[in-house]
Structure 1
Amino acid sequence: MVTGAAGSGITMTFRERNIPAVAKGTGFWHVPTGIKYSHETQELLKVMMQESKLTSFQQRHLTNCMKRGDPLPVHCNPTSSREPQVPKCVSPPKAFISIGPYGRPHLRPAQNCQAGDAYMREKFRPQPTRDLEKEKERLQNILATGKDKKMKKPQKQPVKVEEEVPELDRFDELVNEIQDRQKFLAEMEGLGQGKLYHGMILTEISQKLHEMELIDKQRSTELKDAMAKSFNIGNKPDPQSTEGDQ
């Protein structure tokens, strides 16, 4: 009985409160679907659409959204309202392994295996041999001194550059030949046989002087004067010139 009285008291207190009733189609679970855009907002959107240079399709689509009270889209394609389809990622083809009826992969025949390089042996390549004598000396040095005496590498000798000997001029060669004959005649005179070779040597020297005169007349005259003083010849005529006059 007490419980019933208490329950009826609680009910009376709720009824006595003045709480307005919730209308149908409203409340937390009933969100209004349409949005009413004011006239100023619509005019502002029109101006913005003109300034942004939207296509006629985009302007028409946004105008219809405002008339219906739909929220404005974030993106709008210039020619179609459909969203572009993203291409699907194509996975690479999986490697297919043929399996026999007994659940085992097929084995390759022996001919296919032997056709490759799997059965080819590598050729033996010997390593460079060491000098045994040098190794013995190295071990002896280690046992005697306890240190490994490093072998000095032979130093490369500098390549000798041959000096180019200047070729003698024909005039200089003739001068050397005359000097050789002078020495020979002096040796023969020292031995007391100068009379035997005197005429022959003078003839050869005169021939050399004539050839030198054809090459360089000025130098030949200077050499003739020096030869005349050494042989005491003076201004004797050349044998060849006298023969030519005859």
Structure 2
Amino acid sequence: MKKKEVKKQDTQKQLYQKISAISLFTALFLFFFDTVYGTIQRGGLIVSKSAMGYIDLFNQSTFEGLYYLDILTMIIYILIWVGFMGYIFTQDALKKEHFLLAFLLSFGVISFVANSKVFAIYDLYQQFLVAEVVLRNNYVVAIESLVAVTEHLSLGTLVPSLLASLSLFFVVFEVFKSKLLKPYLAYAGLIGFGLWVLYTPIFVLFPASYGVLSNLFLLVRLCIMAFLMAIGLKLYEQAKS
């Protein structure tokens, strides 16, 4: 009976590891897409704003692109959550700290998703379309009001965004301590997710800073993608062995 139970537990563990690996690989792919497409969309938005191109600032295609990117960010966070939870609960020596880490990770990601501004922003955009028709001779006032409310909504997501990024960093730090990955890959994760924590309040409070820090943020994203690929491969190897 004990052998059967052990075999069943091993099978379940391998299943969780495979699910985690698939989630992390999917997150990696979506993160890459977000890096390429998102840079174009957000960069275009910043250029339009700096050039005082108010009419084009919130045209339908640009606005919907940003709306879908926000949804994509939510999906990426959820996929990374699944992958990291799989890592936590498939380790050979579970400790109380791991359960605390799992709780923090879940609380952080759920808070981020629950407080996402995507639906409020989309509703705001519908209001803008009405205002655009009514205020045909006053585009600037209409759009400046929209930008002000958008920034206020962003401010409301600061705490949950910080919670989510911090909880992800703590999991990465646990992976670093476990020496599961090669040192350079573990350090890439620490650098990527560590700077992600630092950048979160900057991007939330000062959205225009994205254009200034975009090149450095690209390096952060590359570090994160390298880490996601490494931990995903490691979990998949563990599941196969």
Same fold (TM over 0.5): no
TM-score (norm 1): 0.19
Which of structures 1 and 2 has the bigger CA Rg? 1
TM-score in terms of structure 2 length:
0.19
**Which one has more relative contact order, counting CA pairs under 8 Å at least 6 apart?**
2
